[in-house]
Amino acid sequence: MFERQLRQMSAAAISSALDFIRLSVTDDVRVAFVLGTSILATMTFIARQVSKAAAGRILLSDVARVECLSTDRLMHKVVLPARHDAHASKSKRLVLIVPGNPGVPGFYEPFMRRLHELSGQTNEIVGLSHTGHSLPWINGNEAYDLETQVVDKIAYVRKRIEKDPTLSLVLIGHSIGCHIALRLLDHFPTTVEKLVLIQPAVMHIGETPRGRQMMPLFVHHKWVPYLAWPIAQLPTLLKKVLVALFVGPPEFHKAALGMCDHIVVQNCLKMAWHEMQELQEIDHDLVSKHQHKIQFVFSDYDGWCPPHHVELLQRRYTDASHIVVPLPHAFMMAADGSDIMAQHTHKWLGTPMTPPLA
């Protein structure tokens, strides 16, 4: 009997309290504002604690994608292994994707998977991040320049060759990744079988239309990233909502979510600043010597590789393959962009090379 009376009294007290809150909110807007703010603050605090706990966890899927380099730095990667069965090719060919800027391999994963499918999964395909552009915490949140990205890619390829000296290497560079791919060709000329240079940003990019447009942002690469700091502090759930609003294809949401970090932004802008300063003339002797291995893939119009650059490259390197595709510079973001680019790339990789004339 006593317990039933206690329950009735508790229910009555709760009902009275709710009625008081309802009447207070109805009669006074200020009470409604304070109550709403308190509820919002409480929900935000709880979400932040959950977000911090989630961020503190090291995912096994991420650890499995980290490559240790001889440079004492770590690199994030996406790996599509070759198929091993009685019908698979015995050739040891590594197709290496060198990204543009931002250097996040997740943006290239649909392209990689389509290329992997077209090749019958006979080739290992690896997409490498630029150091600090993906999972920045694995390198202590440091920021790196363009030359560091080149050095780390060389370290990765050298490690693979030491493991298997018979390895055949295909390089697929995109944008500034084409410059890095050419540097790899210079270091490993006998190992590199073919190169695909997609929308190549390889010379005088500070003078291109997009380079001039973006220069004010790159000049202030030291402090601009801190404008992204408030976004980095948002709960993960809210960041996912923002990514879904601003990044169209769902397959890129995870890669874009990783960029909601001011350290990643700092790395992207610092690298871009060095690109503007350091990329002048293309290494003509290198490209001329190996042009029979190279396919240039241009866009109808590309602010990073404008028409006069396209004409110059086509005129200089007549033994190279040249194609033009109706895709934007960020081809992977276009509808069917990854599929179209994978089709062209697969066709070129299956085309026998014509050796240069003696």
| 234, 315 Cβ separation under 8 angstroms | no
Show the tokens assigned to 267: 């790395």
Q: Given a cut of 70, is residue 13 above it in pLDDT?
A: no
Global pTM value: 0.80
What is the C-alpha separation between 146 and 98, in angstroms, rounded?
Answer: 13
In our burial notation (b when 16+ CB lie closer than 10 A, e otherwise), range 196-213 reads: bbbbbbbbbbbebeebee
Q: What residue segments make up the domains of the chain, in order of their start? A: 2-56, 61-349
pLDDT range class, residue 74, cuts 50, 70, 90: confident
Mean of pLDDT values over 60-74: 68
Q: Which among 4-13, 228-237, 255-264 has the top mean pLDDT?
A: 255-264
Mean of pLDDT values over 102-110: 94
What is the C-alpha separation between 94 and 77, in angstroms, rounded?
Answer: 14
CATH code of the region 61-349:
3.40.50.1820
Tens-place pLDDT, residues 250-286: 888 888 888 888 888 899 999 999 999 999 999 999 9
CA angle 291, 292, 297 (to 5 degrees): 70
The amino acid at residue 293 is K
| 108, 332 Cβ separation under 8 angstroms | yes
| 186, 150 Cβ separation under 8 angstroms | no
Tens-place pLDDT, residues 138-171: 788 888 999 999 999 999 999 999 999 999 999 9
Tens-place pLDDT, residues 298-350: 999 899 999 999 999 999 999 999 999 999 999 999 989 999 999 999 999 88
